[in-house]
Amino acid sequence: MHNVIFVLLGAILIALVFVSGCTSDVSTTKAHTVYSRADAEKACIQLCENVKSGGMDLSKGPCLSNQVVKDWVCDIAHKPRQPVDNMPENQCTAFMRQEAHHFIELDENCNLIQFY
């Protein structure tokens, strides 16, 4: 009787090790996803349109996301730039701190101004 219990516990332990190993590989793969400028631009425009339709005031050029996709921020500005666009509270802190290395900059109507 004890041998059956030990065999069952061993099988469960092996199954748990296998499943946890597979889960770890999946999350590691996702962590290394690289997003293109097109991916970031599409996500930023979608976010801009969503917050704009929700009534958010974009006139001060706010940062919409410090990570619209991995390593990209989404910022609103004016074209031509206005002093309000350079105010720290309207900047994406992840880009300023070099936590994100790329940005998408849109105008108040969710049109692309520039990317970097």
pLDDT at 32: 73
- Whether residue 103 contacts residue 72, with contact meaning beta carbons closer than 8 Å, is answered with yes
Q: What is the pLDDT of residues 99-112, one digit of tens each?
A: 999 999 999 999 99
Of 24, 21, 65, 29, the closest CA to residue 45 belongs to 65
- The stretch 27-42 carries a mean pLDDT of 78
pLDDT at 30: 52
pLDDT at 28: 38
- The stretch 78-88 carries a mean pLDDT of 94
Q: Does 78 or 13 have the greater pLDDT score? A: 78
pLDDT at 1: 54
pLDDT at 82: 95
- The stretch 13-17 carries a mean pLDDT of 40
pLDDT at 76: 97
Write down the mean pLDDT value for the chain.
Answer: 81
pLDDT at 33: 84
